């Protein structure tokens, strides 16, 4: 066993390079890696992208142009921990652009990848040993699309 970090492979239908570049514009701590292209041996057109490596906040990804056989769904998502409402608003707006807003802080981007835009303090609220506080925060969260930290705090505090 090598103990190396895992790499997440995302299967696209021809948009892997476009998606990687899109994510690089959203996440400040990100970078593009190697790009592999088909050659004359195929199976894709010579020169077209087969894989693109990229990194977001230290997480390694590879985008694979695998074709239309498989698509993304909500069974796999990425959590974006946010320190404050400005971060929640920023990531929600950027990731939902051209995509689809969902409930409870979930958003599907324009490529179909699901993201959870979550204030870090929400996890503390939901796991609080005081079940009444946790239940109040949960009840309010379940009614939200984009998460509103002030409203969550208010419910958590019983106001």
Let me know whether 52 and 124 are in one domain: no
Nearest to 23 by CA among 82, 70, 80: 80
Look up residue 100 and give its two tokens: 């689809």
Q: Residue 62 domain-assigned?
A: yes
* Contact criterion met (CB below 8 Å) for 62 and 99: no
Between vectors from CA 84 to CA 79 and to CA 88, what angle results, nearest 5°?
A: 50
Spatial CB neighbours of 3, under 8 Å, sequence gap ≥ 6: none
What's the pLDDT score for residue 42? Answer: 79
Q: Is position 36 within any domain?
A: yes
* 81/48 same-domain check: no
- Residue 131 located in a structural domain: yes
**According to the model, what pLDDT value does residue 1 have?**
60
Averaged over successive runs of 10 residues, the pLDDT of the chain (159 residues) comes to 86 97 97 96 90 97 96 96 98 98 98 98 96 97 98 96
Residue 102 lies in a domain: yes
Q: Looking at the structure, do residues 153 and 126 belong to the same domain, yes or no?
A: yes
Asked whether residue 2 is assigned to any structural domain, the reply reads no
Total domains in the chain come to: 2
Domain extent at residue 14: 7-68
Q: Is residue 1 part of a domain?
A: no
Could you give the CA distance from residue 75 to residue 78 in angstroms, rounded to a whole number? 10
Decide if 43 is inside a domain: yes
The whole-number pLDDT of residue 59 equals: 96
Residue 33's pLDDT is what?
Answer: 98
The pair of three-digit structure tokens given for residue 8, joined into one six-digit string: 């997440």
């Amino acid at each position: 066993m090598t103990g190396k970090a895992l790499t997440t492979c995302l299967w696209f239908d021809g948009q892997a390079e476009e998606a990687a570049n899109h994510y690089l514009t959203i996440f400040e701590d990100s970078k593009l890696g190697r790009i592999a292209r088909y050659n004359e041996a195929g199976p894709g057109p010579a020169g077209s992208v087969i894989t693109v490596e990229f990194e977001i906040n230290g997480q390694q990804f590879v985008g694979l142009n695998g074709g239309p056989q498989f698509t993304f769904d909500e069974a796999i998502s990425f959590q974006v921990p946010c320190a404050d409402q400005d971060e929640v608003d920023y990531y929600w707006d950027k990731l939902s652009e051209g995509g689809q807003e969902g409930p409870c802080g979930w958003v599907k981007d324009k490529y179909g990848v699901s993201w959870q835009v979550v204030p870090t303090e929400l996890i503390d609220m939901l796991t609080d040993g005081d079940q009444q506080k946790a239940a109040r925060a949960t009840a309010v969260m379940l009614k939200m699309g984009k998460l509103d930290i002030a409203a969550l705090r208010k419910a958590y505090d019983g106001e």
